[in-house]
Structure 1
């Protein structure tokens, strides 16, 4: 969980497992999930991850769009101020398609 986008869930499981191990496993591990303090902690972590999840994705997407814009500007410099005609440059095609998709996805996220 810690290596994917589910870091809060991974931290929660790590916290519960640590509490269970520190008490030498005298009770059922489910008892630690049902504890009211842990329940409130779970709700808070889920709400925070839900609220901040889209924002992180928007920031990452905006960085990709900006990076591709710079790449397109470099193409313009290489081709004398004009972009290559479609299908003349396969690399340009790939960058252009990715840029269009990223902008569309960014606009959808921005309108939420």
Structure 2
């Protein structure tokens, strides 16, 4: 999604992207915190979250605990606004343990030996 935001800023189709992200019953943001989030992308995300918060669902995955999410956003005020809308209305599921990719890699190595 962040790549889509950057290219939409360039070609002027940001409003169209915002509308398309507001429509699905479920929007999935996968791996929040993996890449950097620009000021523009953070403000865009805030507007999408704000549109969706009362009528549709949002699923966010991250390798970071929610307590660390604030650090991903360049502007603390925008971070507060996004996290206030997302975290306080959320059903959190925390998963711990060994990485599934690591487990699958071990299985593949064992099969090939």
**TM-score, scaled relative to structure 1:** 0.24
Question: Considering only CA atoms, is the larger Rg found in Structure 1 or Structure 2?
Answer: 1
Q: More strand per residue: 1 or 2?
A: 2
Q: More helix per residue: 1 or 2?
A: 1
**Greater relative contact order structure (CA < 8 Å, 6+ sep):** 2
